Every structure is written in C-alpha cells, then in structure tokens.
A and B are shown apart, each in its own frame.
Chain A
Amino acid sequence: MILSSEEWGVVLLSLQVSLVAVGLMLPFAFALAWLLARARFPGKLLIDAFVHLPLVVPPVVTGWLLLLLFGANGPLGGWLERTLGISLMFRWTGAALAAAIMAMPLMVRAMRLSIEGIDRRLELAARTLGAKPWRVFFTISLPLALPGILAGLVLGFARSIGEFGATITFVSDVPGETRTLPIAIYSALQVPGAETAVTRLAIVSVILSLAALVASEMLARRASGGRTNHVL
C-alpha cells in the first residue's frame, strides 16, 4: 500500500498533534489524578465531574467552548497570543489542544486508578527507613504508579489520533495544518471518486489504533510480570 506524499503528510501531522497533545496533558493529568486519588477537599466532586466532561459532552460542544475560550477574541486565546505569541486558530497547535482536552478524561482515569492502587503502607515503610516525603514520592509512589501512567499515555494517544469533532469545530479543516487523519478521511469522503484514498487512510488509522492497543497491553503485562519472572 503506497501513500501519496500528501497522505504521508496527514499521517505525520496526526502523529505530531497526538504526541504533543499527550505530552502537554501529561503533567496536568497526573496532577489531577493525584489530587482526585489522594486529596480531600470541598468541591472535589465538581472537579471530578469537570474532568470527565469531555467524555460525555458532544465533541462539537467541546470544540465550540474551546473556540469561545481560545479564539482570537477569547479570554485565554488573546492572552496566549499577547504573552507567549502562540496562536491556536487554524493551527496544528489548536488541534493538539483539542486532542489534549478530549484525551484528558481517559488519561486521568487510568492514572487515578493506579495511584489509588498504591499500597500506602509501602510509603509509610519507606518513611520509617529515613526517606523524606519527596523521596518516597519519586522512589516508591511514582514507580508503583508507572504502569497506569503509561496506560494513560497510550490511551490518550489513541484517543488523540481518532479525535475529530472538537478539532474540526475548533480549528476547522486546513490542509497541512489541521487536517489530521479523521478529518482527511472525512474530507475525502466529500469528494466523488476518492474511495481509494479513504481506504488507504482508514487502513492507516486502524493500524495506528491497533499498535497503540498492543503497546498498552504489552506495557501492562511487563508491569505485572516483570517482577516474578524469576520464579521458575
């Protein structure tokens, strides 16, 4: 199967957008997951609901909200433009932001579960052995939560690759800038006689999604099996 150079561009753009989205969201998702798993504070339920919002709200609504917030006249969009010189409208950066927001619930969920699964008695044992709280975090908590963090990354990546509704609403369909795989497939569907292009791009999408799923499965197995493989 040979892709045209334009189609290769679409694939690379999709990878770029998804990797940046997941990388951008990682620290925020981890902080949120930690907060939801460990902290007790009033309004926690509200934050929990807010984090999950992109999962249940129609993506077109999420895209429209992004447009309101980050558009040229939006409060955050104007600020980003003025202070950091970052423009999101009709840019791949905007596509990455939309993908990041849509990936957030899945990433936070996976990370939160693994943080909740940490045996806190191990952290206390480390304290009695002379480790200060920050050392306990980096040597005990973080490594034990790692499988969930990686799973969250892979899930978020897969979600970003497939992101369509919020992206096309927020940054539209600009070839070479915001035309990621799903948007390219959708555009090709609008053109009579482009069925072979649709087929090629669809196959690439399936391959990428499968690769992400296999990767997450392998990570999960490695995480659980690695420490007992000397038993035989």
Chain B
Amino acid sequence: MSFDLDLDHRVGERRITLQCRTDAGLVALFAPSGAGKTSILNMVAGILTPDRGRIAVAGETLFDSAAGIDLPPERRRAGYVFQDGRLFPHKKVRANLLYGRHAEPPMPFEAVLDFLGIGHLLDRWPATLSGGEAQRVAIGRALLSGPRFLLMDEPLSSLDPSRREDILSVIERMKHDLAMPILYVSHDRAEVDRLADQIIPL
C-alpha cells in the first residue's frame, strides 16, 4: 500500500474528507482550486492536524486519531515540494539544498545536482532565481532530505508555459528512477493524465 488515507477535517464551514487506499506510484489528487487539496497534503506532511482519521504511507502509520498516533512533521520524512517553492530567502541555494540533509538520501548530492541541472546555481540567492530554477531547487531540497515519499503541490502552477515541460519531464524521471510514492496535487487535467498512475477526483 503506497497511500492509505482516511481523512476528515473541518475548516470553518467546509468539510474536507478523503478515503483512499492505493498501491499506485504516483497518485494525483485532481480538483478545481479551493477544494482543499493543499490541506490534504498539509495533513499528510503533519503541518495540519485532521479532526479524525488515519494516515499511513508506504506501510508506516503517521497519524491515527483512534490510536493516538501523531508523528511530528520532522519525523514523517515527507519530501514536500510547495506550490511557491518556499526556499529560505536568507540562505543561498547550496544551504537550502543541504538544510534537510539526511544520512541516506535516495540520490547523493552530486547526482541530484546533475539530475535537476542546478549545479551552476549553488552560490545564488533564491531571490535571483527564475521560477523554474527555484522549483528545481525546491525539488532538490526535498529529495536531499531523505524522504520516504513525496508530496507535490501544483509544482507547475507558478511557472510560465515554456518552463512547465522542463519540470514535467523532471517529475516523470523522478517517478521512474526513485520508486517512491508520490502524492501529486493539480487542477490541470492534461498534467494529471500524463503523470498519474491513479487519479482521485475530490
């Protein structure tokens, strides 16, 4: 089982629920904007606590309200790629990449640089990167933190169309090479059709 999710969370008037048990490698949550997709990723990452439910990824239970399990985010080993990149503005690219350095990342540092083509950016400040460059660094930072699974929140949405293809092919290769469960959120049908092994409409 890659993702075993049973979530129930109320935000103000809105109720976000999701039941899914799947063994697919790349699972896409597909819904229009504002349907609570990001909230679901936040719950899996541990930075939002569901009112009730259970979250298990790749056989490890991260949250279970009935059993009183709630791992803090730093112990969940989620590689979270945020919609806006969310690089640390006061650290250069190298320090951003190494922030979550883990003893056994799926790929060594040099390999990640090659894979994402970001070796020439190491001494730059995040503010000087283009959208595509920043998103690739964000992916690299997530990979180097030694994740057990990846969460990707509309990683293409902040990019201009010419850069999208670039990141799309990176994600396709990641899916191939890493054999790591990926929970992917998007409101773009074509994107989801191309990447996903399983699509879950919300």
Contacts and interface: CB of A to CB of B under 8 A. Distances in A.
Interface of A: 121-122, 124-132, 139-140, 143-144, 227-228, 230-231
Contact of A128 (B80, B88, B102, B126): B80
A124 to B, nearest CB: 5
Given A128-B80, A129-B100, A227 B127 contact: yes
The secondary structure that dominates the A interface is helix
Contacts of B145: 128-130
13 contacts: A125-B82, A125-B86, A125-B88, A126-B88, A127-B47, A128-B73, A130-B75, A131-B99, A131-B100, A132-B74, A144-B90, A230-B124, A230-B128
A228 B128 CA distance: 6
B125 interface: yes
Contacts of A130: 74-75, 77, 100, 102, 145-146
A15 B73 CA distance: 47
Given A130-B77, A130-B100, A143-B90, 15 more contacts: A122-B88, A125-B82, A126-B99, A128-B46, A128-B74, A129-B142, A130-B145, A130-B146, A131-B74, A132-B74, A227-B89, A227-B126, A228-B125, A228-B127, A230-B125
A181 to B, nearest CB: 37
Interface in B24-61: 45-47
Interface of B: 45-47, 72-80, 82, 86, 88-90, 99-100, 102, 124-128, 141-142, 145-146
A144 B47 CA distance: 20
A126 to B, nearest CB: 7
A32 B90 CA distance: 24
Q: Top 7 closest A-B pairs, CB basis?
A: A129-B100, A127-B73, A227-B125, A128-B80, A124-B47, A228-B127, A125-B86
Q: Which of A127, A139, A231 has its CB near the most chain B CB atoms (within 10 A)? A: A127
Nearest to A143: B90
Contacts of B90: 143-144, 227
Contacts of B86: 121-122, 125
A144 B74 CA distance: 20
A148 B65 CA distance: 40
A151 B88 CA distance: 22
Contacts of A128: 45-47, 73-74, 76, 78-80, 145
B189 to A, nearest CB: 28
A190 B179 CA distance: 84
A149 to B, nearest CB: 13
A3 B126 CA distance: 50
Nearest to A136: B74
Contacts of B89: 122, 144, 227
A227 B95 CA distance: 13
A121 B42 CA distance: 11
A30 B58 CA distance: 43
Contacts of B46: 127-128
Contact of B74 (A122, A127, A139, A227): A127
Contacts of B88: 122, 125-126, 140
Contact of B72 (A122, A127, A144, A230): A127
